[in-house]
Structure 1
Amino acid sequence: MFRNDLSGQQIDNYELVSRISRGGMAIIYKAIQKPSGRVVALKLLDLNASGEQREEHVRRFRREAEIITRLEHMNILPIYGYGIHENEYAYIAMRLAGGGSLAEQLVRQPLSVDRAIEIFLQVASALGAAHAQGIIHRDIKPSNVLLDETANAYLTDFGLATFTDFATRLTASNALIGTPAYVSPEMILSQTATRRSDVYGLGVLLHHMIAGAPPFHYSGSNIAELLKQHINQPPPPLRTIAPNVPVELEAIVLRALAKDPDMRYADACEMARAVQALPIG
């Protein structure tokens, strides 16, 4: 998969300029759309996988494009086009956000409470728009939050998203959906993801931004231990790590991280309203 740098090559009417980032499935390039000259981010998926895996990847890619197309929100990057190039690459062209990812920022240092809340509210607003249309993201994490040059945040990567009335899984049978450090207990247990599953992801995200790390950790490759923590272990109160955090904000994060989905906020908008009502700022 992507053995060589594709910079300088042409994918349909997009000229690849330079590689921006690489994930588990896809790679993102800065590209120029011809003939307009518009600079875009081009997300590429190599289709040289085996038959069943290839079909799943293409399904997921198309689902992401279709979902983003129907979502119009200031904190969701719009797409300019998508397709399959010479049966070799699937691609999605979207607006280029030049500020890197939230994950890259968090590698350097935690965020202030004010900045974490600012980013949280933008991400929650985008997620709330998705929830209003019956869309569950299922993979909220820092690398799926992009920043522009003026530090606005954008929720990206709807490749694992699903609809509340569409229960078919987009991954192989018994495969874990989501990212281990951010996945909700019910998703680990192969139960249906709901808006409250995304709320759990928002809780992990907010904790990570302020504390500098997710609430649950594992050493080496012991992912099973991490998943058990999500299911059984209470999350550490945020103030034990960051004493300057308001008590009310700590309570919001702990509610979002409740093991029982019914104990969490109903959706991203309800959690955002609780944060907006905090006596800080």
Structure 2
Amino acid sequence: MTATLFRLPSGTVVDGWRVSRELGNGGFAVVFLVEKNGKPHALKVARHREASGDDKQTHARMVREATTLLMLDHPNIIRHRGYGYAETGNMYVALEYVDGWTLAEWKERKHPTIHEILRVFVKLASALSYMHARGVLHRDLKLVNVLIRKSDGEPIIIDFGCATYTLADDLTEEGLPPGTERFRAPEQFKFLREHKNEHRARYAFKVADEIFALGAMFYELLTDPRPTEHNRRVSLNNPLMPPPPACEVNPRIPDQLSELVEKILSRDPSKRPVDTEALRRELEEHLERSGAEYMVPAHAPSEQWRSEPSGVGGPPVEPSNGLRPRKVATKTLVAGAAVATALAAAATSWFVPGDIPALPPPPHSSPPTTSPPDMSLPSPAPMVLPSATDVGQKEGSTVKMTTPEISTQGRPTRVRNKVSAADCAALSLVAALAAGCPSSQIRPESFTCPAGAERAMVNELHWRRFDRFVLTLDDRHDRNGKTWFTPGSEVVGVVPKAEGLDRRQYEVAPPGTRFYGKAYYLSDKMGRADGPALVVRYDRVKLPGQDERPICFVVESRSYGFKDGRVQASNENEGRVVDRWP
């Protein structure tokens, strides 16, 4: 299927989005500048339909990208404005439009102080902490995937074409997940070397990889006076040779800040901040105690490139192979929304007009084994996907597109299209949860117990199969109330100090025993006759005064509500010892 099947001429109306012009045309999607209610937005249209024989799975990638954006709502993350289908059946996502610079352009044009750069990275770490808490990994953080909005200087993370999340399907057949070589953590290359003869080996992208990428961006802004230019650069992720300290490359960088950057870029992931929230705190501490040495531009303006926008072409873009293209003078009116889930890019690099940066290879995802587990999407009964769900639009309406086919009276005609049940199932999953709809599912896959669990439970803990213990499911909340659980999130349960515990529990799982696991949502279609349930799988336990041991312990709890992708359930319940969970 060629791009001509969904090239939308100026004046085309798609579910109320009126096309102004094309912004960018990449290997997997086309992005248009559109207008609705007098405001600019961006419309990204997939190149292929579901049934078009697309071996690159651009349709599936668009479904995943849209679902990812529906899970997020943060001031420093690009926002979706709707989704639906064009007349040809090609899926689209509508996005907010950001008038701003890429992070690299902002550095060159605005000559920010070290304090201002640090402030931006505090906000980026905060956005990533929020994102990771919801089970989302961006997987392609780099300078062109952050915009600085001109109106208020706020950083906006864009381009979720490579992102993955707790429910994402596996779309990749490669060893490494999609991304840009320069910003990959060194352990990814180590993995490739160690598993070069294993065709099925897949690297599990982690929060530590995301932290390294953010550190690489930080290092480049602090050390490179012209980050948009095609310059030879020292490798940031050589497994054996770390880059020189930032303060050696640029004497303006304070020693303490340089040490923090060095820590973030450590070859050993265990020496980096433990998560993005810890990173945010460290960056914020530096910001709060920053002195006069932080109030100067990171580089003297004379060292940086100054050029008036030419009004033509796009910003410098960073190809997915990690090399930088030649420098291009730009008109920096960035369609941030377009780049937000922006153009899932071709495997080879390309330039995009209208300030749309080139993106990395398509989001083939390996099963993530970060804090959120890998879970497959369910297949609910057929339903109709809501039409471009712009804010407040009612679910269940038909998906339609308006194309200006001029009739004999000179008026445009309207064409309606319906959506397949499979697409609805995928897209409505997060949308329904966010709207509080209990018909969606976030289910665990079958699994076997952790290695050594059976031996530990029988020989060391003296547990028997189907032993039942009472515990507080999440010790951060009151055990007597109802608690909101985020499916895929880590939880720590604890046996309460309360009367009424079974005598056997006092002997083998006494008060103070801590259970470590993850929460899931189980629908009534998986064998429960009394309605939906929260399921918590605990795979580790620590009895008071003893070492941690692997286990297989499951709690099922009736759910009382759904909101923002979370499930409400009683925080105290009884679980059971199992040998596996179907």
TM norm. shorter chain > 0.5: yes
Deviations 1:215-263 (A, max 9, x none): xx9969xxxx969x53332122111222111212111111111122212
Q: What residue is the counterpart of 2:68 in the other structure?
A: 67
- Structure 1 residues without counterparts, runs of 5 or longer: none
Is 1:272 matched with 2:280? yes
Matched letter for residue 20 of structure 2:
V
Range moving further from structure 2, 263-272 or 104-113 = 104-113
Matched letter for residue 274 of structure 2:
A
Size of the aligned set, in residue pairs, is 270
The answer to whether the Cα contact below 8 Å between 1:111 and 1:209 also exists between their aligned partners in 2 is: no
| Cα drift, residue 20 of structure 1 | 4.1
Matched letter for residue 279 of structure 2:
M
Q: 1:46 to 1:11 in 2, by over 3 A?
A: farther
| Cα drift, residue 168 of structure 1 | 5.6
**Match runs of 1:92-103 below 5 Å:** 92-103=93-104
| Alpha-carbon distance in structure 1 between the residues aligned to 2:133 and 2:107 | 29
Q: What residue is the counterpart of 2:152 in the other structure?
A: 150
The answer to whether the Cα contact below 8 Å between 2:44 and 2:93 also exists between their aligned partners in 1 is: yes
- Identity across the alignment (%): 28
Q: 1:262 to 1:175 in 2, by over 3 A?
A: closer
Is 1:30 matched with 2:27? no
SS at match of 1:100: strand
Matched letter for residue 194 of structure 1:
K
| Alpha-carbon distance in structure 2 between the residues aligned to 1:52 and 1:218 | 37
Range moving further from structure 2, 168-177 or 65-74 = 168-177
| Alpha-carbon distance in structure 2 between the residues aligned to 1:248 and 1:89 | 51
The answer to whether the Cα contact below 8 Å between 1:11 and 1:85 also exists between their aligned partners in 2 is: no
Q: What residue is the counterpart of 1:200 in the other structure?
A: 212
Q: 1:52 to 1:17 in 2, by over 3 A?
A: closer
| Alpha-carbon distance in structure 1 between the residues aligned to 2:124 and 2:184 | 17
| Alpha-carbon distance in structure 1 between the residues aligned to 2:217 and 2:269 | 17
Q: What residue is the counterpart of 2:524 in the other structure?
A: none
| Alpha-carbon distance in structure 1 between the residues aligned to 2:7 and 2:169 | 35
Matched letter for residue 273 of structure 2:
Y
Is 1:85 matched with 2:86? yes
Deviations 1:191-229 (A, max 9, x none): 211111100011011112222278xx9969xxxx969x5
Q: What residue is the counterpart of 2:342 in the other structure?
A: none
Matched letter for residue 182 of structure 1:
F
Instruction: Specify which structure has the higher proportion of helix.
Output: 1
| Alpha-carbon distance in structure 2 between the residues aligned to 1:106 and 1:2 | 35
| Alpha-carbon distance in structure 1 between the residues aligned to 2:283 and 2:86 | 44
User: RCO higher in 1 or 2 (8 Å CA, sep ≥ 6)?
Assistant: 2
| Alpha-carbon distance in structure 1 between the residues aligned to 2:25 and 2:235 | 24
TM-score, L = length of structure 2: 0.42
Q: 1:23 to 1:155 in 2, by over 3 A?
A: farther
| Alpha-carbon distance in structure 1 between the residues aligned to 2:211 and 2:170 | 20
Q: What residue is the counterpart of 1:186 in the other structure?
A: 187
Which of 260, 267, 283 pairs up with 1:252? 260
| Cα drift, residue 167 of structure 1 | 8.0
Q: What residue is the counterpart of 1:231 in the other structure?
A: 239
Q: 1:143 to 1:43 in 2, by over 3 A?
A: farther
The answer to whether the Cα contact below 8 Å between 2:176 and 2:203 also exists between their aligned partners in 1 is: no
Q: 1:150 to 1:26 in 2, by over 3 A?
A: farther
| Alpha-carbon distance in structure 2 between the residues aligned to 1:60 and 1:130 | 19
Range moving further from structure 2, 9-18 or 245-254 = 9-18
SS at match of 1:147: strand
Q: What residue is the counterpart of 1:159 in the other structure?
A: 161
The answer to whether the Cα contact below 8 Å between 2:43 and 2:92 also exists between their aligned partners in 1 is: yes
- Structure 2 residues without counterparts, runs of 5 or longer: 192-201, 292-582
| Alpha-carbon distance in structure 2 between the residues aligned to 1:109 and 1:232 | 35
Is 1:262 matched with 2:302? no
| Alpha-carbon distance in structure 2 between the residues aligned to 1:94 and 1:211 | 33
SS at match of 1:154: strand
Q: Which has the larger radius of gyration?
A: 2
Matched letter for residue 263 of structure 1:
K
